[in-house]
Structure 1
Amino acid sequence: MRLPDFEAWAIFACVVEHRSFSGAAEAIGLSKATVSKAITRLETALGTALFHRTSRRLSLTESGKALAERAHRILAEAQAAEEIARDAATAPAGLVRVAAPVTFGTRFVGRAVADFLTAHPGIEIDLRLSDAKVDIVAEGFDIALRIAELPDSSLRARRLAPVAGRIVAAPSYLAARGTPRHPADLGEHACLRYANLPGAWHFKKADGEEAAVRPSGPLITDNGDVMLPTLRAGLGIARLPDFIVDEDLAAGTLVEILPEWATLGIALHLLTPPGSLRPARVEALIAHFATTFKTLCTAPHNMARLAESGRLGRN
């Protein structure tokens, strides 16, 4: 029986993560020639090219894209197995790569990371903030925090907390256009929309009545903070989480609309690549995030509204 070339698979995963042969070679302490030979060896064994190579750019072929997730799983599980086999008294150490949304990252993740690094001086965190939907396998992330409704995928997902939304507008907008009394009325208003959460807005009252509306309006963006100037200028209505609008609501620059209706409880999820084994450093950070963010994202009154409507706790 011919054994798989595990070293070549692991090197392939590193090249995918670092997006270059030289970057992978530097990260794992091998020569660029050794890395190149390992990739050639693997391509020969598989009978297919894994990368398109030019003098300026390295990109995955379709075969490479299909195999990148499996390579990452092989490397991650081997690293985790070695870590489990080490002395249990040894403190977790090494690099953890994390992706998080921009606003949530700046307001909450930074503080959580600081607390974690204080307690785990041997661990290093590479935190990247983006509202784009990152490919955590292809880009080499160990953890991604995502506020969304998640489609089916091969990734492992853990629901950390519900995130309550509010329907808000500036007093000047409501004075000019009138205040919606029912979610259906939003169809006649200018609505600002979040690009990563397309489709209808769903609502439910405590008495069980449900409603949905497909919004339209002058602005679509992938960042909630970017909506605030347009909202404050009186140009529309938006559905945003508490942690983005709380200061404006307190200041009166925005007001809540339809408070008796609970919006669909978008949740904060923690995603990891597929595979049953994870390094201890990754497990430690997952546990820290789970504890830290358990109730952080949702204001108490909105949690109560969601509970009354029967949405709290749903995935």
Structure 2
Amino acid sequence: MELLNHMAYFVEVVKARSFRGAAEAIGMPNSTLSRKINELEKFIGLRLLHRTTRKIELTEAGQIYYERSRRIIDEARLAHEQLGSLLVQPQGILRISLPADFAVVILAPIIKAFSDNYPGITFDFDLTPRNVDLVSEPYDLAVRMGNLPDSGIIARKLGSLTRSLYASPDYLVQNGSPRNPNDLKDHECICMRQDKSGEWHLQHKEDRIFVKTSGRFQMNSIGMMRRFTSMGAGIALLPDKIVGEDIANNKLIRVLPDWKGEAVTIYALTETRLVPAKTQVFIKFMRKNLSGE
């Protein structure tokens, strides 16, 4: 990269036919520009310019080097311009691994809006909870929630989901409403498999409490938890974003409204930090819509 920069400085000097003119065009001190051309000549091992007090002239080697360098710099500039346009309207197939319930309930409208903004991108979704191998399998990225396994995969935070306690009106009529978090031990609690030993971490302002829960149902599907809860199977810790319709239809009621569960973090996983434009703009769009950035 340093050699390419020095080459670009040399081209500007030749075009301007003076160090002063080139320095003004580049926005660099004249002495610095002169030093960089000296460094280039030392690196090549040949003099490229004849310098006088009034003007500069190309040596024979300088003429050859200028013709080659000018083409290289023009190609580099064109490559940057083309990549810039690609970032504005990226194209190609975007292959994404997504957790099914989360994708259907929350991500689907966001991805639809993204597709409207970027008509050059087509999509291939794999809705699966398994940890796909981003190195050996043909995915551009995976979207995952919660704690991540320790690996060499690059994780970018997209946002987080707040969680609250919910139950159906029928369940609360039959079993009563808990008055404080400790009452949850006497209720049927529907838990995610990821909840360590059925332990819920609840928070109210600065107060935090760990509640040991028990229940007959444990699963790894947010959609299934929401469905079971709305049918009166128990109390569940659910993301607030997915229950709006059930609350409006009086299928779910907020329980212990002063308390919230730990937020669930959403990540975009990629094999490397150097991702193509289609992946860059997707991650940026998801982050904006999931975190409000």
Say whether the 8 Å CA contact 1:190–1:237 is kept in structure 2: yes
Taking the aligned partners of 1:191 and 1:132, their CA distance within structure 2 comes to: 25
Residue 110 to residue 245, structure 1, CA distance change in 2 (3 Å):
closer
Say whether the 8 Å CA contact 1:192–1:227 is kept in structure 2: yes
Determine helix, strand or coil for the equivalent of 1:293.
Answer: helix
Instruction: Give the TM-score normalised by structure 1.
Output: 0.60
Higher alpha-carbon deviation: 115-124 or 155-164: 115-124
Aligned residue for 1:204?
203
Aligned residue for 1:10?
none
Q: Which sections of structure 1, spanning at least 5 residues, go unmatched?
A: 1-83, 297-315
Please state if 1:87 is matched with 2:65: no
Aligned residue for 2:104?
106
Give the number of aligned pairs: 211
Per-residue deviation, residues 197-241 of structure 1 (Å, max 9, x unmatched): 4442101111x2211123221212221221234323322111111
The one-letter amino acid paired with 1:114 is K
Aligned residue for 1:289?
286
Aligned residue for 1:140?
138
Taking the aligned partners of 1:170 and 1:241, their CA distance within structure 2 comes to: 15
Say whether the 8 Å CA contact 2:188–2:235 is kept in structure 1: yes
Instruction: Give the TM-score normalised by structure 2.
Output: 0.64
Aligned residue for 2:116?
118
Deviation at 1:93, TM superposition (A): 2.5
Please state if 1:185 is matched with 2:180: no
What's the C-alpha RMSD, in Å, of the aligned pairs?
Answer: 2.4
Taking the aligned partners of 1:88 and 1:219, their CA distance within structure 2 comes to: 51
Say whether the 8 Å CA contact 2:99–2:143 is kept in structure 1: yes
The one-letter amino acid paired with 1:174 is L
Q: Which sections of structure 2, spanning at least 5 residues, go unmatched?
A: 1-78
Aligned residue for 2:68?
none
Determine helix, strand or coil for the equivalent of 2:183.
Answer: helix
Residue 175 to residue 116, structure 1, CA distance change in 2 (3 Å):
closer
Determine helix, strand or coil for the equivalent of 2:156.
Answer: strand
Identity of aligned residues (%): 31
Aligned residue for 2:193?
195
Taking the aligned partners of 2:174 and 2:286, their CA distance within structure 1 comes to: 43
Say whether the 8 Å CA contact 2:143–2:268 is kept in structure 1: yes
Taking the aligned partners of 2:119 and 2:230, their CA distance within structure 1 comes to: 43
Bigger radius of gyration among the two:
2
